Amino acid sequence: MSQSLAFANGWSLATTLMVCVVIFRAGTGGYGVMPAAEYDGDPAAVVHEFDPFP
């Protein structure tokens, strides 16, 4: 997915589920979104992390 779509989906997922969410670079130019607790990929691939608890 595109970066702008990943950020929109990441924020929505974080605020809806009230969990920390990471946006990471996946493969050749795409981005992925998933809960931070489930991410076990390369830490260098993480682009941003949304924390719904200020």
Cα gap 6→30, rounded to integer Å:
9
Give the pLDDT score at 17. Answer: 94
pLDDT tens across the length of the chain (54 residues)? 899 999 999 999 999 999 999 999 988 889 999 999 999 999 999 999 999 997
Give the pLDDT score at 54. Answer: 76
Please tell me whether residue 32 adopts helix, strand or coil conformation.
strand
Give the pLDDT score at 29. Answer: 84
CB neighbours of residue 52 within 10 Å = 14
Rounded alpha-carbon distances, angstroms, from residue 4 to 15, 36, 40, 44, 53 = 17, 19, 23, 20, 22
Give the pLDDT score at 27. Answer: 83
- Overall domain count for the chain: 1
Domain limits for position 42: 3-50
